[in-house]
């Protein structure tokens, strides 16, 4: 047992020692609190010094500081390999902080004045700038406001039988040159039953031709478009 030692954290140890034999439940609770606390550099330095110079037992040091023996051994190992300064708390800030250059800021602002669109479309127009960089610049200059994150509750379209409903997704792959893809997905098996790409915005005729090309068993006069980019409901023969 460690006696009459003054070190950072000795007040907590005094309370811990008082509870050890009188109230085991309070002792375990207090010890858990000490284990959860982040040790200071002074405590680490003191622990290494007591073990290396004064040949004190690691078990006693661990109990005194409310830490595990493996933690004390790790401090000793780090101090031997990298020096005592290695025990200082490390900053959590990133070492490489990327800043947006003035040329990029000017390019984003000029593109916004010309096109008057959002960050994602501006990123596509600029090409070599991410949409988050564009978003940060627009927020910094007060062009758009930083809104709260709203989590959407997704509605899952699913049918009990195959060929009961299809999801048709229209995606913009590239605007310069324009490339659009249309994908038809069966809402039961989740298989892609049809897919094609176009150099123009797909029209209703293009989608109907793709549906026929995918051999979907429906009559064109009896299917209804539920949403422009989502679902087609089938009516069988």
Domain ranges of the chain: 10-87, 102-140, 165-233
Distance CA(113)–CA(108), nearest Å, equals: 9
Torsional sign, CA 220, 221, 226, 232: negative
* pLDDT level of residue 198 (50, 70, 90 thresholds): very high
Q: Is the pLDDT of residue 221 over 60?
A: no
Q: Is the pLDDT of residue 220 over 50?
A: no
Q: Is the pLDDT of residue 122 over 50?
A: yes
- State the pLDDT at residue 234: 40
Residue 198: beta bridge partners? 180
The structure's pTM equals: 0.32
Torsional sign, CA 206, 212, 216, 220: positive
Distance CA(193)–CA(55), nearest Å, equals: 74
CB 19 within 8 Å of CB 34: no
Q: Percent of the chain at pLDDT above 90?
A: 5
- State the pLDDT at residue 57: 84
């Amino acid at each position: 047992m460690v006696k009459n030692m003054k070190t950072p954290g000795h007040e907590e140890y005094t309370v811990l020692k008082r509870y050890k034999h009188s109230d085991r439940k309070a002792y375990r609770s207090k010890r858990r609190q000490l284990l959860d606390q982040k040790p200071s550099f002074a405590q680490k330095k003191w622990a290494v010094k007591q073990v290396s110079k004064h040949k004190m037992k690691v078990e006693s040091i661990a109990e005194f500081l409310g830490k595990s023996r493996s933690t004390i051994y790790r401090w000793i190992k780090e101090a031997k390999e990298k020096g005592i300064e290695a025990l200082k708390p490390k900053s959590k800030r990133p070492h490489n902080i990327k800043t947006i250059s003035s040329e990029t800021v000017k390019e984003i602002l000029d593109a916004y004045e010309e096109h008057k669109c959002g960050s994602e479309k501006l990123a596509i127009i600029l090409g070599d700038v991410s949409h988050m960089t564009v978003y940060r610049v627009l927020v910094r200059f007060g062009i758009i406001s930083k809104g709260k994150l709203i989590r959407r509750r997704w509605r899952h379209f699913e049918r009990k039988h195959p060929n009961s409903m299809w999801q048709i997704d229209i995606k913009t792959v590239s605007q310069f040159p324009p490339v659009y893809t249309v994908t038809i997905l069966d809402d039961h098996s989740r298989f892609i039953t049809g897919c094609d790409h176009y150099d123009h915005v797909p029209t209703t005729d293009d989608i109907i031709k793709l549906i026929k090309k995918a051999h979907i068993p429906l009559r064109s006069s009896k299917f209804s478009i539920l949403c422009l980019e989502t679902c087609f409901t089938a009516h069988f023969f």
